Amino acid sequence: MAFSLLTFDARHITPYGIGYAADSISVAMNHHKLRCHIYSYFNELAGNKDFRKPLFRNRVLYKLSKKLLNTRGIHQLASMRMLSLLAQYDAAYLWTNCKLELYQKIKEKNKILICEAINTHQNSARIILDTEYARIGITQTKRISNENINDENAKLALSDFIFCPSPNVTKSMLDNGVDATKLIETSYGLGPHQRHQPDSSLHHTKGFNVLFVGSGIIRKGIHLLLAYWRDAHIDGLLTIIGNVDPEIEHIVQPYRNDRRFKFVSFTKDIDPYFKDADVFALPSLEEGSPLVTYLAIGAGLPCIVSPMGGDGVIRDGIEGHIVDPHDKAAWITVLETLAQDKSQLAQLSKAAYERSEYFLWQNVGQRRAESLMTITGDK
Protein backbone atom coordinates (compact mmCIF):
# COMPACT_ATOMS: atom_id res chain seq x y z
CA MET A 1 0.00 0.00 0.00
CA ALA A 2 1.25 3.48 -0.89
CA PHE A 3 2.42 5.87 1.82
CA SER A 4 -0.15 8.67 2.00
CA LEU A 5 0.50 12.33 2.66
CA LEU A 6 -1.87 15.27 3.18
CA THR A 7 -0.39 18.69 2.44
CA PHE A 8 -1.95 21.71 4.11
CA ASP A 9 -1.14 25.22 2.92
CA ALA A 10 -3.23 27.67 4.93
CA ARG A 11 -3.93 30.13 2.15
CA HIS A 12 -5.80 30.80 -1.07
CA ILE A 13 -3.60 29.17 -3.73
CA THR A 14 -3.02 31.19 -6.90
CA PRO A 15 -0.98 30.42 -10.06
CA TYR A 16 2.09 32.14 -8.61
CA GLY A 17 4.01 32.52 -5.35
CA ILE A 18 4.68 30.10 -2.53
CA GLY A 19 1.18 28.60 -2.66
CA TYR A 20 1.80 27.67 -6.28
CA ALA A 21 5.03 25.97 -5.18
CA ALA A 22 3.21 23.99 -2.47
CA ASP A 23 0.59 22.84 -4.95
CA SER A 24 3.06 21.99 -7.71
CA ILE A 25 5.29 19.98 -5.40
CA SER A 26 2.41 18.11 -3.78
CA VAL A 27 0.89 17.08 -7.11
CA ALA A 28 4.30 16.09 -8.49
CA MET A 29 5.12 13.98 -5.42
CA ASN A 30 2.48 11.44 -6.39
CA HIS A 31 4.48 8.32 -7.03
CA HIS A 32 3.78 4.61 -7.28
CA LYS A 33 4.71 4.35 -3.59
CA LEU A 34 3.38 7.72 -2.40
CA ARG A 35 -0.07 9.30 -2.57
CA CYS A 36 -0.12 13.06 -1.91
CA HIS A 37 -3.11 15.40 -1.81
CA ILE A 38 -3.11 19.13 -1.09
CA TYR A 39 -5.65 20.88 1.09
CA SER A 40 -6.05 24.69 1.18
CA TYR A 41 -8.67 27.41 1.67
CA PHE A 42 -9.32 27.73 -2.07
CA ASN A 43 -7.33 26.65 -5.13
CA GLU A 44 -7.40 28.51 -8.43
CA LEU A 45 -5.27 25.94 -10.25
CA ALA A 46 -7.06 23.73 -12.76
CA GLY A 47 -6.51 20.05 -13.50
CA ASN A 48 -5.62 17.10 -11.26
CA LYS A 49 -8.71 17.70 -9.14
CA ASP A 50 -8.27 14.29 -7.53
CA PHE A 51 -5.11 15.63 -5.86
CA ARG A 52 -6.61 18.95 -4.71
CA LYS A 53 -8.99 19.16 -1.77
CA PRO A 54 -9.79 22.83 -1.03
CA LEU A 55 -12.07 23.81 1.84
CA PHE A 56 -14.15 25.84 -0.62
CA ARG A 57 -14.54 24.34 -4.09
CA ASN A 58 -16.63 27.27 -5.26
CA ARG A 59 -15.20 30.79 -5.60
CA VAL A 60 -18.51 32.35 -4.59
CA LEU A 61 -18.62 30.39 -1.33
CA TYR A 62 -15.00 31.28 -0.62
CA LYS A 63 -15.64 35.01 -1.12
CA LEU A 64 -18.78 34.83 1.01
CA SER A 65 -16.90 33.09 3.82
CA LYS A 66 -14.26 35.85 3.79
CA LYS A 67 -17.03 38.37 4.44
CA LEU A 68 -18.74 36.32 7.15
CA LEU A 69 -15.62 35.01 8.89
CA ASN A 70 -12.38 36.82 9.71
CA THR A 71 -9.02 35.30 8.82
CA ARG A 72 -8.81 33.57 12.17
CA GLY A 73 -12.24 32.02 11.70
CA ILE A 74 -11.39 30.63 8.25
CA HIS A 75 -8.13 29.22 9.58
CA GLN A 76 -9.88 27.48 12.47
CA LEU A 77 -12.49 25.99 10.14
CA ALA A 78 -9.83 24.84 7.67
CA SER A 79 -7.69 23.33 10.43
CA MET A 80 -10.63 21.37 11.86
CA ARG A 81 -11.45 20.01 8.42
CA MET A 82 -7.79 19.16 7.79
CA LEU A 83 -7.61 17.16 11.03
CA SER A 84 -10.76 15.29 10.05
CA LEU A 85 -9.33 14.40 6.64
CA LEU A 86 -6.01 13.37 8.17
CA ALA A 87 -7.54 10.13 9.49
CA GLN A 88 -7.22 8.81 5.91
CA TYR A 89 -3.48 9.56 5.65
CA ASP A 90 -0.19 8.41 7.17
CA ALA A 91 1.37 11.86 7.45
CA ALA A 92 0.69 15.59 7.45
CA TYR A 93 2.83 17.98 5.42
CA LEU A 94 2.47 21.58 6.64
CA TRP A 95 3.38 24.69 4.68
CA THR A 96 3.01 28.33 5.70
CA ASN A 97 0.61 30.02 8.13
CA CYS A 98 -0.20 26.89 10.13
CA LYS A 99 -0.60 27.49 13.86
CA LEU A 100 1.39 25.72 16.59
CA GLU A 101 -1.88 24.28 17.91
CA LEU A 102 -2.34 22.38 14.65
CA TYR A 103 1.15 20.87 14.95
CA GLN A 104 0.31 19.74 18.48
CA LYS A 105 -3.00 18.16 17.49
CA ILE A 106 -1.40 16.28 14.60
CA LYS A 107 1.19 14.79 16.95
CA GLU A 108 -1.59 13.81 19.37
CA LYS A 109 -3.00 11.72 16.52
CA ASN A 110 0.37 9.93 16.19
CA LYS A 111 0.76 10.98 12.57
CA ILE A 112 4.12 11.63 10.93
CA LEU A 113 4.56 15.40 10.72
CA ILE A 114 6.56 17.05 7.94
CA CYS A 115 7.01 20.81 7.56
CA GLU A 116 8.36 23.09 4.85
CA ALA A 117 11.04 25.60 5.88
CA ILE A 118 10.45 28.29 3.25
CA ASN A 119 13.12 30.59 4.69
CA THR A 120 16.21 30.38 6.85
CA HIS A 121 15.63 29.87 10.57
CA GLN A 122 14.14 33.08 11.99
CA ASN A 123 16.94 33.47 14.52
CA SER A 124 19.50 33.46 11.69
CA ALA A 125 17.31 35.78 9.64
CA ARG A 126 17.02 38.23 12.55
CA ILE A 127 20.79 38.40 13.00
CA ILE A 128 21.27 39.11 9.28
CA LEU A 129 18.58 41.78 9.15
CA ASP A 130 19.50 43.45 12.45
CA THR A 131 23.08 43.76 11.21
CA GLU A 132 22.06 45.30 7.88
CA TYR A 133 19.52 47.74 9.30
CA ALA A 134 22.12 48.91 11.84
CA ARG A 135 24.72 49.28 9.08
CA ILE A 136 22.54 51.57 6.98
CA GLY A 137 20.94 53.35 9.94
CA ILE A 138 17.27 52.45 9.47
CA THR A 139 14.85 51.39 12.19
CA GLN A 140 13.03 48.15 11.41
CA THR A 141 9.26 48.39 11.36
CA LYS A 142 8.69 44.61 11.30
CA ARG A 143 11.52 43.10 13.35
CA ILE A 144 11.47 39.34 14.00
CA SER A 145 10.49 38.92 17.65
CA ASN A 146 11.51 36.40 20.31
CA GLU A 147 7.94 35.14 20.13
CA ASN A 148 8.35 34.44 16.39
CA ILE A 149 11.54 32.50 17.03
CA ASN A 150 10.10 30.51 19.93
CA ASP A 151 7.05 29.61 17.85
CA GLU A 152 9.24 28.33 15.03
CA ASN A 153 11.42 26.34 17.42
CA ALA A 154 8.35 24.67 18.90
CA LYS A 155 7.07 23.71 15.45
CA LEU A 156 10.46 22.36 14.38
CA ALA A 157 10.69 20.30 17.58
CA LEU A 158 7.32 18.69 16.83
CA SER A 159 8.19 17.98 13.19
CA ASP A 160 9.55 14.56 12.26
CA PHE A 161 11.04 15.80 8.99
CA ILE A 162 11.77 19.23 7.55
CA PHE A 163 12.10 19.98 3.85
CA CYS A 164 14.88 22.58 3.37
CA PRO A 165 14.77 24.17 -0.12
CA SER A 166 18.42 25.28 -0.20
CA PRO A 167 21.80 24.64 1.42
CA ASN A 168 21.46 27.95 3.26
CA VAL A 169 18.21 26.86 4.90
CA THR A 170 19.79 23.55 5.92
CA LYS A 171 22.78 25.35 7.45
CA SER A 172 20.58 27.77 9.37
CA MET A 173 18.64 24.88 10.87
CA LEU A 174 21.83 23.16 11.97
CA ASP A 175 23.20 26.44 13.35
CA ASN A 176 20.10 26.71 15.53
CA GLY A 177 20.28 23.22 16.97
CA VAL A 178 17.79 21.36 14.77
CA ASP A 179 18.49 17.63 14.61
CA ALA A 180 20.30 16.86 11.34
CA THR A 181 18.39 13.58 10.93
CA LYS A 182 15.18 15.57 10.44
CA LEU A 183 16.47 17.63 7.51
CA ILE A 184 15.75 16.78 3.87
CA GLU A 185 17.61 19.13 1.53
CA THR A 186 15.74 19.82 -1.68
CA SER A 187 14.78 22.74 -3.94
CA TYR A 188 11.89 24.59 -5.52
CA GLY A 189 11.32 24.72 -9.25
CA LEU A 190 9.23 25.88 -12.19
CA GLY A 191 6.59 24.60 -14.59
CA PRO A 192 7.11 23.58 -18.25
CA HIS A 193 5.15 26.67 -19.32
CA GLN A 194 7.71 28.82 -17.51
CA ARG A 195 10.62 27.70 -19.68
CA HIS A 196 11.30 29.83 -22.75
CA GLN A 197 14.13 29.11 -25.16
CA PRO A 198 16.21 32.33 -25.18
CA ASP A 199 16.65 34.23 -28.45
CA SER A 200 19.98 36.04 -28.22
CA SER A 201 19.24 38.04 -31.37
CA LEU A 202 16.68 40.06 -29.43
CA HIS A 203 19.35 41.62 -27.21
CA HIS A 204 21.98 42.80 -29.63
CA THR A 205 20.25 45.91 -30.91
CA LYS A 206 19.84 47.70 -27.60
CA GLY A 207 21.76 48.48 -24.46
CA PHE A 208 22.55 46.05 -21.67
CA ASN A 209 19.43 45.25 -19.61
CA VAL A 210 19.53 43.91 -16.07
CA LEU A 211 16.39 42.69 -14.29
CA PHE A 212 15.50 42.51 -10.58
CA VAL A 213 12.17 40.95 -9.57
CA GLY A 214 11.02 40.95 -5.96
CA SER A 215 9.74 43.08 -3.11
CA GLY A 216 11.61 46.33 -2.68
CA ILE A 217 12.83 45.54 0.81
CA ILE A 218 16.15 45.42 2.65
CA ARG A 219 16.01 41.62 2.83
CA LYS A 220 16.15 41.41 -0.97
CA GLY A 221 19.19 43.69 -1.16
CA ILE A 222 17.56 46.19 -3.52
CA HIS A 223 19.40 49.09 -1.87
CA LEU A 224 22.71 47.40 -2.68
CA LEU A 225 21.90 46.68 -6.32
CA LEU A 226 20.75 50.25 -6.96
CA ALA A 227 24.07 51.61 -5.71
CA TYR A 228 26.13 49.07 -7.66
CA TRP A 229 24.33 49.86 -10.91
CA ARG A 230 24.63 53.60 -10.30
CA ASP A 231 28.41 53.32 -9.97
CA ALA A 232 28.98 50.83 -12.79
CA HIS A 233 30.15 52.25 -16.11
CA ILE A 234 27.48 50.65 -18.26
CA ASP A 235 25.23 51.99 -21.01
CA GLY A 236 22.07 50.14 -20.09
CA LEU A 237 18.98 49.82 -17.96
CA LEU A 238 18.24 48.27 -14.57
CA THR A 239 14.56 47.32 -14.32
CA ILE A 240 13.13 46.83 -10.84
CA ILE A 241 9.83 44.93 -10.71
CA GLY A 242 8.10 44.97 -7.34
CA ASN A 243 6.58 47.35 -4.83
CA VAL A 244 9.02 49.37 -2.75
CA ASP A 245 8.57 49.23 1.01
CA PRO A 246 7.82 52.71 2.44
CA GLU A 247 10.62 52.31 5.01
CA ILE A 248 13.24 52.49 2.22
CA GLU A 249 11.48 54.83 -0.21
CA HIS A 250 13.89 57.61 0.80
CA ILE A 251 16.76 55.40 -0.40
CA VAL A 252 15.05 54.55 -3.68
CA GLN A 253 13.69 58.01 -4.49
CA PRO A 254 16.92 59.54 -5.90
CA TYR A 255 17.06 56.80 -8.55
CA ARG A 256 13.52 57.27 -9.84
CA ASN A 257 14.41 60.15 -12.16
CA ASP A 258 17.58 58.54 -13.51
CA ARG A 259 17.14 57.18 -17.06
CA ARG A 260 19.30 54.15 -16.22
CA PHE A 261 16.65 52.89 -13.78
CA LYS A 262 13.10 51.74 -14.46
CA PHE A 263 10.64 50.96 -11.67
CA VAL A 264 7.59 48.79 -12.29
CA SER A 265 4.99 48.01 -9.63
CA PHE A 266 4.19 44.39 -8.83
CA THR A 267 2.72 42.55 -11.80
CA LYS A 268 1.82 38.93 -12.47
CA ASP A 269 2.81 39.31 -16.12
CA ILE A 270 6.60 39.25 -15.88
CA ASP A 271 7.39 37.10 -18.94
CA PRO A 272 7.91 40.12 -21.25
CA TYR A 273 10.49 41.52 -18.83
CA PHE A 274 12.41 38.24 -18.74
CA LYS A 275 12.45 38.19 -22.54
CA ASP A 276 13.81 41.75 -22.72
CA ALA A 277 16.54 41.24 -20.12
CA ASP A 278 20.14 40.17 -20.65
CA VAL A 279 20.88 39.31 -17.02
CA PHE A 280 18.96 38.64 -13.82
CA ALA A 281 20.34 40.09 -10.56
CA LEU A 282 19.35 39.28 -6.97
CA PRO A 283 21.68 40.32 -4.10
CA SER A 284 19.40 38.94 -1.35
CA LEU A 285 20.59 39.01 2.23
CA GLU A 286 18.12 36.40 3.48
CA GLU A 287 15.99 33.90 1.55
CA GLY A 288 14.86 30.32 1.43
CA SER A 289 15.19 29.61 -2.27
CA PRO A 290 13.59 32.42 -4.30
CA LEU A 291 11.19 31.19 -6.98
CA VAL A 292 12.19 34.05 -9.25
CA THR A 293 15.69 32.59 -9.67
CA TYR A 294 14.15 29.44 -11.15
CA LEU A 295 12.06 31.57 -13.50
CA ALA A 296 15.20 33.44 -14.57
CA ILE A 297 17.07 30.28 -15.61
CA GLY A 298 13.89 29.05 -17.29
CA ALA A 299 14.11 32.16 -19.46
CA GLY A 300 17.77 31.45 -20.16
CA LEU A 301 19.01 34.46 -18.19
CA PRO A 302 22.52 34.44 -16.76
CA CYS A 303 22.18 35.17 -13.05
CA ILE A 304 24.23 37.38 -10.76
CA VAL A 305 23.09 36.39 -7.30
CA SER A 306 24.19 36.37 -3.70
CA PRO A 307 24.54 32.98 -2.00
CA MET A 308 21.05 33.50 -0.53
CA GLY A 309 19.68 34.45 -3.94
CA GLY A 310 20.78 31.36 -5.81
CA ASP A 311 22.80 28.82 -3.83
CA GLY A 312 21.83 25.30 -4.87
CA VAL A 313 20.40 26.57 -8.17
CA ILE A 314 23.13 28.66 -9.77
CA ARG A 315 26.59 27.15 -10.10
CA ASP A 316 29.24 29.84 -9.99
CA GLY A 317 30.74 30.42 -13.43
CA ILE A 318 28.30 28.06 -15.17
CA GLU A 319 24.81 29.60 -15.13
CA GLY A 320 26.00 32.88 -13.72
CA HIS A 321 28.00 34.28 -10.83
CA ILE A 322 27.52 33.98 -7.08
CA VAL A 323 28.78 37.15 -5.41
CA ASP A 324 28.85 38.31 -1.79
CA PRO A 325 26.00 40.86 -1.59
CA HIS A 326 28.25 43.41 0.16
CA ASP A 327 31.21 43.09 -2.23
CA LYS A 328 30.55 46.20 -4.28
CA ALA A 329 33.72 45.93 -6.37
CA ALA A 330 32.94 42.33 -7.34
CA TRP A 331 29.37 43.16 -8.32
CA ILE A 332 30.46 46.07 -10.49
CA THR A 333 33.19 43.96 -12.13
CA VAL A 334 30.76 41.16 -13.00
CA LEU A 335 28.16 43.59 -14.32
CA GLU A 336 30.68 45.47 -16.46
CA THR A 337 32.24 42.24 -17.75
CA LEU A 338 28.93 40.74 -18.85
CA ALA A 339 27.89 44.02 -20.45
CA GLN A 340 30.94 43.77 -22.71
CA ASP A 341 31.45 40.02 -23.15
CA LYS A 342 28.65 38.79 -25.41
CA SER A 343 30.33 35.41 -25.81
CA GLN A 344 30.30 34.74 -22.05
CA LEU A 345 26.73 36.02 -21.87
CA ALA A 346 25.60 33.55 -24.54
CA GLN A 347 27.42 30.66 -22.87
CA LEU A 348 25.87 31.39 -19.47
CA SER A 349 22.44 31.81 -21.07
CA LYS A 350 22.60 28.40 -22.75
CA ALA A 351 23.71 26.73 -19.52
CA ALA A 352 20.97 28.48 -17.51
CA TYR A 353 18.22 27.27 -19.81
CA GLU A 354 19.58 23.71 -19.82
CA ARG A 355 19.88 23.75 -16.03
CA SER A 356 16.21 24.70 -15.65
CA GLU A 357 15.04 21.29 -16.87
CA TYR A 358 16.46 19.69 -13.72
CA PHE A 359 14.17 21.94 -11.65
CA LEU A 360 10.88 21.22 -13.41
CA TRP A 361 8.26 20.63 -10.72
CA GLN A 362 7.73 17.04 -11.83
CA ASN A 363 11.43 16.30 -11.32
CA VAL A 364 11.56 18.17 -8.00
CA GLY A 365 8.47 16.36 -6.72
CA GLN A 366 9.79 12.95 -7.65
CA ARG A 367 13.13 13.63 -5.95
CA ARG A 368 11.27 14.75 -2.83
CA ALA A 369 9.07 11.64 -2.91
CA GLU A 370 12.10 9.38 -3.24
CA SER A 371 13.89 11.14 -0.37
CA LEU A 372 10.83 10.81 1.82
CA MET A 373 10.38 7.14 0.98
CA THR A 374 14.02 6.49 1.80
CA ILE A 375 14.04 8.36 5.09
CA THR A 376 10.76 6.80 6.29
CA GLY A 377 12.03 3.34 5.35
CA ASP A 378 9.34 2.72 2.73
CA LYS A 379 11.51 2.08 -0.34
For the chain, the residue count is 379
Task: Confirm if 5 and 93 have CB atoms less than 8 A apart.
Answer: yes
Write down the pLDDT at residue 379.
Answer: 40
What was the pLDDT predicted at 46?
65
Q: Are 40 and 55 in contact (CB under 8 A)?
A: yes
Give CA separation, 353 vs 48, 319, 366, in Å. Answer: 27, 8, 21
Distance CA 226, CA 170 (A): 30
Q: Sketch out the chain's domains with CATH numbers.
A: 3-189+360-375 (3.40.50.2000), 192-358 (3.40.50.2000)
Per-residue DSSP letter, 360? B
Specify the DSSP class assigned to residue 290: -
- Using H for helix, E for strand and C for coil, what is the string for the chain? CCEEEEEEEEEEECCCHHHHHHHHHHHHCCECCEEEEEEEEEECCCCCCCCECCCCCCHHHHHHHHHHCCHHHHHHHHHHHHHHHHHHCCEEEECCCCCHHHHHHHHHCCCEEEEECCCCCHHHHHHHHHHHHHHHCCCCCCCCCHHHHHHHHHHHHHCCEEEECCHHHHHHHHHCCCCHHHEEECCCCECHHHCCCCCHHHHCCCCEEEEEECCECHHHCHHHHHHHHHHCCCCEEEEEECCECHHHHHHHHHHCCCCCEEEECCCCCCHHHHHHCCEEEECCCCCCCCHHHHHHHHCCCCEEECHHHHCCCCCECCCEEECCCCCHHHHHHHHHHHHHCHHHHHHHHHHHHHHHHHHEHHHHHHHHHHHHHHHCCCC
Contact present, 23 and 9 (Cβ < 8 Å): yes
Question: For every one of its 379 residues, what pLDDT tens digit does the chain have, with 9 covering 90 and above?
Answer: 579 999 999 888 988 899 999 999 999 999 878 999 999 999 998 666 778 989 888 888 888 888 888 888 899 999 999 999 999 999 999 998 899 999 999 999 999 999 999 999 999 999 999 999 999 999 999 999 999 999 999 999 999 999 999 999 999 999 999 999 999 999 999 999 999 988 766 555 568 999 999 999 999 999 999 999 999 999 999 999 999 999 999 999 999 999 999 999 999 899 999 999 999 999 999 999 999 999 999 999 999 999 999 999 999 999 999 999 999 999 999 999 999 999 999 999 999 999 999 999 999 999 999 999 888 875 4
**Residue 207 pLDDT:** 85
| pLDDT score, position 334 | 98
Residue 203: the pLDDT is: 53
Q: What is the pLDDT of residue 198?
A: 84
Distance CA 300, CA 349 (A): 5
Residue 201: predicted pLDDT:
60
Which pLDDT does position 63 carry in this prediction?
86
Q: DSSP label at 357?
A: G
